[in-house]
Amino acid sequence: MIGPDDVGGVHIKYLYHCRRQLWLYLRGIRPEHLSATVQLGEAVHDTSYTRNTPVDLGAAKLDFIDGQHWVHEVKSSTRTTPADQAQGRHYCHRLYLVGIDAQGTVLHYPKTRRTQRHPYTPEAADQALADIADVLAVATASTSPDRLTRTACRGCSFTDYCWTE
């Protein structure tokens, strides 16, 4: 079973995307390596901002942090999602735990050449703690949460698991 220190960015991302996906991921079901969407995301990540070094915080690994303590995350999608913002917020929280006062998150969308800044406020810190509690609640659930509607599952690497009869 995982504890608060084990919650990483992927857990937070899946929490916002689909709790069923998170529940499966926590139980070791990980078909992401078979997904073309995931492979595209890895390619975008590997070819964007190559001069910066990823920061490994144990369970969480952020893309890079600048000299003014802004966390930078590179995303393969074309638009921001609540999951992107939550993941950045979680990284700011993880940095706070190791003694670094992060200013916030800068989300980079190379496909559209856009960036978005999300300051790390006291409200964001509270939400980061609530997100960790939600991940732990999903982890302790004995049954998987209900699946989303089929259209919401489009592009998910867990689609076959959830929708195969």
pTM, 2 dp: 0.88
pLDDT by residue (tens digit) across 109-154?
988 999 999 999 999 999 999 999 999 999 999 999 998 888 888 8
Q: What residues contact 127, with CB distance under 8 A and at least 6 apart?
A: 86, 89
DSSP class of residue 99 equals: T
Q: Return phi, psi of residue 155, to 5°.
A: 85, -5
pLDDT bucket at 60, cuts 50 / 70 / 90: confident
pLDDT by residue (tens digit) across 1-19?
899 999 999 999 999 999 9
pLDDT bucket at 43, cuts 50 / 70 / 90: confident
Pairing of strands 70-74, 114-119: unpaired
